[in-house]
């Protein structure tokens, strides 16, 4: 039942106070368990608030305290394959509904990005998270931002900023160690475009892990694209040039799926003849692959969680510069089962 009281049509604390027969200040104290009030008064006020469906305006308290319990989340990959898990992680860290996130999709347009930043700043967000896939370190969002900024997944070029990234090199090491452990010896690496930062990091991990295991790589890394077509092509070429290959580590699940199809069509069995590991652990690809694909999970949700935690920390205690790294995780499916007769 609406009370004709205030302009907005919504009950304000003044309406609650009037209904309970107390002053505004007293009502506030009753609702926030502050001050010294008789229990009876407190209950009366709370009943009144309940009856009116009173929800306090955080706009007013924000104005008062200077904190909005609001952050901006800027994403640059509009399909959300990378930003969404980051958002989920951030939500975890920010507490369900404790702090809410304005999500802004820049569509990789710097003008739009600046618009959004200005808008966020005008709304007095407590901080900003910049999420999104980008091979290289990205230019800082803004110089001398009046609120903390944390970069998630895409790291800032400015070392004084705070970034959270995945340890892609470590992820590659994980994959190779797994293959070696399951008895593979002739391991090839098929990946994305030459010069792509992710490709570079993973190649480095592959070299390191192979060296540590005392193995020679099977040819140079195969650079191409991130597509299935490339994977199929590479599989055909690979089996032709290196018939003894017994495992392929792929720079993405998409490539790996192409490789799986290519191998099957060249008469190789997966995993019996050749084991396969991808990267991304992207369910619709990895799980539908024939056979289901072992994959390196980039742990993006944890990246988001860390970013959220660091942001909160920066808001409360000040800036924590540096690059924070999150480990990858290997998700084992059947594509890398040990070949029969091996360890």
For binding to DNA (CB under 7 A), which residues are involved?
6-8, 12-14, 21-26, 28-29, 31-32, 34-38, 41, 54, 56-57, 59-61, 63-64, 66
Q: Restricting to residues 250-289, name those near its own copies by CB under 8 A.
A: 254, 257-258, 283-285, 288
Enter the tokens of residue 27: 């009502």
- Cβ proximity to DNA: between 32 and 317 the closer is 32
Q: Residue 228 to residues 201, 240, 254: CA-CA distances in angstroms?
A: 21, 18, 5
Smallest distance, Å, CB 44 to its own copies? 22
Site string (18-57) toward its own copies, x via CB under 8 A: -----------------------------------x-xxx
Q: Does 143 bind its own copies (CB under 8 A)?
A: no
- Cβ proximity to DNA: between 7 and 343 the closer is 7
Binding segment for its own copies (CB under 8 A), chosen from 8-16, 126-134, 315-323, 329-337, is 8-16
Q: Does 214 bind its own copies (CB under 8 A)?
A: no
Smallest distance, Å, CB 183 to its own copies? 28
DSSP string of 258-278, one letter each residue: HHHHHHHHTT--TTTT-EEEE
Q: 103, 75 in Cβ contact below 8 A?
A: yes
Task: Measure CA 122 to chain center.
Answer: 26
Q: 233, 224 in Cβ contact below 8 A?
A: yes
Smallest distance, Å, CB 49 to DNA? 10
Smallest distance, Å, CB 327 to its own copies? 23
DSSP string of 93-106, one letter each residue: HHTTTTSEEEEEE-
Instruction: Find which of DNA, its own copies, none residue 97 binds, CB within 5 to 8 Å per kind.
Output: its own copies
* Among 28, 41, 51, 68, contact with its own copies (rule: CB under 8 A): 68
Q: Are strands 294-297 and 275-279 parallel, antiparallel or unpaired?
A: parallel
Q: What are phi and psi of 325, to 5 degrees?
A: -110, 135
Smallest distance, Å, CB 146 to its own copies? 5
The reply to whether omega before 271 is within 30° of 0 (cis) is: yes
CA distance 65 to 194: 51
Smallest distance, Å, CB 198 to its own copies? 17
The helix (run of H) or strand (run of E) holding residue 174 is helix 168-181
DSSP type of residue 138: B
Smallest distance, Å, CB 341 to its own copies? 28
Q: Restricting to residues 77-96, name those near its own copies by CB under 8 A.
A: 78-80, 84, 87-88, 91, 96
Alpha carbon dihedral 305, 306, 311, 316, in 10-degree steps, equals 100
- Cβ proximity to DNA: between 15 and 297 the closer is 15
Binding segment for its own copies (CB under 8 A), chosen from 25-33, 197-205, 208-216, 227-235, is 227-235
Q: How many residues bind its own copies (CB under 8 A)?
A: 54
The helix (run of H) or strand (run of E) holding residue 142 is none
Q: Are strands 127-131 and 70-75 parallel, antiparallel or unpaired?
A: parallel
The helix (run of H) or strand (run of E) holding residue 304 is helix 300-317
- For residue 250, list its beta bridge partners: 190
Instruction: Find which of DNA, its own copies, none residue 25 binds, CB within 5 to 8 Å per kind.
Output: DNA
- Cβ proximity to its own copies: between 116 and 153 the closer is 116
Instruction: Find which of DNA, its own copies, none residue 37 binds, CB within 5 to 8 Å per kind.
Output: DNA
Enter the tokens of residue 185: 């010896």
Q: 297, 281 in Cβ contact below 8 A?
A: yes
| Contacts to its own copies by CB under 8 A | 7-10, 53, 55-60, 62-63, 66, 68, 70, 73, 78-80, 84, 87-88, 91, 96-98, 100-105, 112, 115-116, 118-124, 146, 227-229, 254, 257-258, 283-285, 288
């Amino acid at each position: 039942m609406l009370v004709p009281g205030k302009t907005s049509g919504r009950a304000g604390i003044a309406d609650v106070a009037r209904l309970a027969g107390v002053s505004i200040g007293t009502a506030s104290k009753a609702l926030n368990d502050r001050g010294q009030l008789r229990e009876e008064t407190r209950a009366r006020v709370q009943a009144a608030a309940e009856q009116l469906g009173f929800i306090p305006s955080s706009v007013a308290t924000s104005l008062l305290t200077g904190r909005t319990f609001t952050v901006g989340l800027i994403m640059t990959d509009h399909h959300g394959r990378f930003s969404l898990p980051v958002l989920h992680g951030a939500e975890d860290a920010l507490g369900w509904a404790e702090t809410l996130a304005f999500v802004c999709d820049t569509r990789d347009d710097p003008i739009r990005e600046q618009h959004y930043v200005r808008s966020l700043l005008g709304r007095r967000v407590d901080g900003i998270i910049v999420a999104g896939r980008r091979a290289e370190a990205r230019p800082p969002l803004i110089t001398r931002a009046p609120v903390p900024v944390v970069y998630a997944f895409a790291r800032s070029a400015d070392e004084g900023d705070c970034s959270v990234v995945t340890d892609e090199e470590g992820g590659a090491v994980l994959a190779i160690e797994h293959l070696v452990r399951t008895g593979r010896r002739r391991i090839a690496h098929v990946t994305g475009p030459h010069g792509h930062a992710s490709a570079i990091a993973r190649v480095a991990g592959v070299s390191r892990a192979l060296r540590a295991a005392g193995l020679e790589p099977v040819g140079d890394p195969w650079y191409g694209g991130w597509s299935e077509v490339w994977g199929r092509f590479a599989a055909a070429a690979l089996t032709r040039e290196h018939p003894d290959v017994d495992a392929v580590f792929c720079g993405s699940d998409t490539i790996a799926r192409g490789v799986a199809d290519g191998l099957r069509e060249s008469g190789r069995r997966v995993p019996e003849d050749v084991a396969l590991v991808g990267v991304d652990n992207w369910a619709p690809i990895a799980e539908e692959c024939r056979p289901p694909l072992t994959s390196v999970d980039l742990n993006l949700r944890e990246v988001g969680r860390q970013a959220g935690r660091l942001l909160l920390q920066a808001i409360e205690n000040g800036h924590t510069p540096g690059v924070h790294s999150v480990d990858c995780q290997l998700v084992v499916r059947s594509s890398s089962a040990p070949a029969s007769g091996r360890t």
